[in-house]
Amino acid sequence: MPAVMSLSGERSHPTSRAPRAVRCAPEQVIVVNGSQQALDLCVRLLLDPGDEVALEDPGYMGAHRILAAHGARLVPARIDSDGIRIGELGKKARLVYVTPSHQFPTGVSMSLARRLELLEWARQRGAVLIEDDYDSEYRYSGPPLPAMQGMANGAGVIYIGTFSKVMFPGLRVGYVIVPRQLVKPFTRAKWLADRNTPILDQAALAGFLSEGHLERHIRRMRRIYGRRREVLIETLHRHFGERARVFGDAAGMHLMVRFEDPGVLARASRNNVHLARSGAYYLGEPPAGEYVFVFSRIGERTIREGVKRLAD
């Protein structure tokens, strides 16, 4: 799938100049059935049951569950305004799973200083970092920081990308970019798992990329999602004012809201508005009144009406 290989930065490609500054040779890019399969291959190859794995708390359930299913001992590390807290990574973690571009679900973008600190932490311990870069294409303010993989400088970083968010989740195509010494084990494990990601899907996607459609699609969707995001923030502000604190909205397809309004949940159920609590993403105790709003799937009018019904 040559167009995907151009993400390497070692081969430029006319349609892929929005770089994540990933550094690799084409053979280090292994096409998989979405991030979930990439994670599954990582844990099968790199973990033994009982091994410690550090992960973001709150964090992505898809990662929590697959690690737990393989018998990993999960070490939750909280998030501050710079990203994952290094002091909470545990003493013996073999793997660290992070979403540095847009922490899921809090939306924190890991600072450069924290990235460098995390890379150094991993280098000193011989731990492997899994960088899940699931939605960095949709960013609404400020340029994204380059991928950690490109600054690894000797640290073991596995980079996971997916077309789930940038295109649609039913398209089970993603890619994992592994250090050179892991190319053979990963290629073999993928072959053992299911031979290959469907060739027809890959061919259609390769055509889409090489004809420049992906970049156009991203530009268009960024405008649409950006507008929905603005409408959501503006409507929340209008109806709730100080009683709703919005955060994690600089990128992606969701944002977080913390309500200082004990009646909001009752009004949501009375007025038939689905509110998604953030609690499911926490390994520890979740904060009260915190919700995840996915704005990408809902039209502007529905957003306006839904927020109004929450407030009424």
Ligand X SMILES: Cc1ncc(COP(=O)(O)O)c(C=O)c1O
* Residues in contact with ligand X by the rule CB under 6 A: 34-36, 60, 62, 99, 104, 132, 134, 162, 164, 169, 174
Q: How far is the CB of 154 from ligand X (least distance, A)?
A: 26
Q: How far is the CB of 237 from ligand X (least distance, A)?
A: 26
Tell me the C-alpha distance between 9 and 233, whole Å. Answer: 36
Closer residue to ligand X, CB minimum distance, 250 or 265: 250
Closest by alpha carbon to 115, among 150, 78, 73?
A: 150
Q: How far is the CB of 130 from ligand X (least distance, A)?
A: 10
Closer residue to ligand X, CB minimum distance, 38 or 264: 38
Closer residue to ligand X, CB minimum distance, 219 or 297: 297
Q: Which residues contact 175 (CB under 8 A, 6 or more apart)?
A: 4, 7, 29, 30, 31, 32, 38, 160, 161, 162
- CA 183, chain centre distance (Å): 23
Element (H, E) at 34: helix 34-46
Closest by alpha carbon to 248, among 112, 131, 81?
A: 81
Question: Measuring CA to CA, how many Å separate 179 from each of 22, 40, 124, 183, 270?
Answer: 12, 17, 17, 7, 52
Closer residue to ligand X, CB minimum distance, 214 or 264: 214
54 phi, psi to nearest 5 deg: -95, 140
- Integer Rg of the chain from CA: 20
SS3 153: coil
Q: How far is the CB of 261 from ligand X (least distance, A)?
A: 27
Q: How far is the CB of 67 from ligand X (least distance, A)?
A: 13
Q: How far is the CB of 217 from ligand X (least distance, A)?
A: 17
Contact 30, 175 (CB under 8 A): yes
Closer residue to ligand X, CB minimum distance, 97 or 240: 97
Closer residue to ligand X, CB minimum distance, 206 or 265: 206
SS3 275: coil
Q: How far is the CB of 1 from ligand X (least distance, A)?
A: 16
Closer residue to ligand X, CB minimum distance, 136 or 235: 136
